[in-house]
A and B are shown apart, each in its own frame.
Chain A
Amino acid sequence: MTEPQYYQKLKTIVSPYLPDDVSVDEIGMDSHFLKELNINSANLVDIVLDVEDEFDIVLENEDMEAMQTVRDAMVIIERKRSS
């Protein structure tokens, strides 16, 4: 899977969890899920669970903690898929 494909898939996963005042267009590679996209920690758990289903991977607590931005998520997904 190419980088733009990962990015597109992540955007699709994240968008339903965005608060009303943040639009999909505001999602960038370096967007911080909690601080910039204003996603709360409860919804971030659901995003991580959706990522697991979409990419068929299992994430651990440390992955969850490391997944702060869209780019972080892409790096972690890529690593899990290739291991």
Chain B
Amino acid sequence: METSEIILRLPYGKPFVFVDSLEQAGEEGVTGHYIFRKQSVVYQGHFKKKAVIPGVLLTECCAQIGLVCLGIFLTAKEEAPETAFALSSAEMEYLIPVMPGEQVKVRSEKIYFRFGKLKCKVWMWNAEDKLVCKGVLAGMQLKQGYE
């Protein structure tokens, strides 16, 4: 499956898309990019005095690129391919802050995809190639349409 096709199949819409492009997608993992837009209103309140991307959004970005895009790739061959995965667990470590306007790269590595559960390791780097956060995410394939 082409990486552009995966992006088209993502079940998210504005303002909750955290994937700009995919560099690579395969059986074992996915690599993609996203720029946290300066103009997003969310950062005006996080924090009041200095804008920093909230950890939950770093996790969301890791999940959309690393878990959901990988899930779309892995289920593409199924009769009824699934595009939605519900996050079932997240164990993350956050190492350095990300500011509005920064571009990040996310890489995932599949641990397993069995019985509808996809578990993978994820890493996020900033434009200087410094590790921003890392962790283990898991999600369950959703059987109803969430497109």
User: Which A residues are within 8 Å of any B CB, using their own CB?
Assistant: 40-42, 45-46, 48-49, 61, 64
Contacts and interface: CB of A to CB of B under 8 A. Distances in A.
B140 interface: yes
A49 B116 CA distance: 12
Is chain A's binding surface mostly helix, strand, loop or mixed?
helix
B117 interface: yes
A42 B114 contact: no
B77 to A, nearest CB: 15
Contacts of A49: 112, 114
Is chain B's binding surface mostly helix, strand, loop or mixed?
strand
A64 B88 contact: no
B68 to A, nearest CB: 15
Contacts of A40: 88
20 contacts: A40-B88, A41-B116, A41-B140, A42-B88, A42-B89, A42-B117, A42-B138, A42-B140, A45-B114, A45-B115, A45-B116, A45-B117, A45-B140, A46-B117, A48-B114, A48-B115, A49-B112, A49-B114, A61-B115, A64-B115
Interface residues of B, number: 9
A-B interface, 10 closest residue pairs, ranked by CB to CB distance from nearest:
A42-B88, A45-B117, A45-B115, A64-B115, A42-B140, A42-B117, A41-B140, A45-B114, A42-B138, A48-B115
A32 B16 CA distance: 37
Nearest to B117: A45
Greatest chain A CB density within 10 A among B115, B116, B140 is at: B115
A56 B106 CA distance: 35
A48 to B, nearest CB: 6
Greatest chain B CB density within 10 A among A40, A45, A49 is at: A45
A32 B115 CA distance: 18
